[in-house]
Amino acid sequence: MKGTVKWFDDTKGYGFILTEDGKEYFVHWKSIVTVSDMNRKFLVNEEEVEFDLMETNKGVQAINVVRLNP
């Protein structure tokens, strides 16, 4: 699934991704995929990402988030 980062708070480590159909999904920094685990995990507001969805006890969340143009 593709979307755009609506906002991401680097200090708090979470934010939201907005899809083309207007749905918002919570994203936590642990769900961001990087080349190495040593790389800092963050997102930039309004950048495009690809992600999967996972049902959690707090609702549907974005996982396996990949930055398309880092």
Contact 24, 18 (CB under 8 A): yes
Contact 65, 31 (CB under 8 A): yes
- How much of the chain, in percent, has pLDDT values that exceed 90? 87
* Residue whose structure tokens are 């979470």: 14
pLDDT digits (tens, 9 = 90+) for 33-66: 998 878 889 999 999 999 999 999 989 999 999 9
* Residue whose structure tokens are 């049902």: 55
- List the domains of the chain with CATH numbers: 2-67 (2.40.50.140)
- How much of the chain, in percent, has pLDDT values that exceed 70? 100
Is-above-0.85 flag for pTM?
Answer: yes
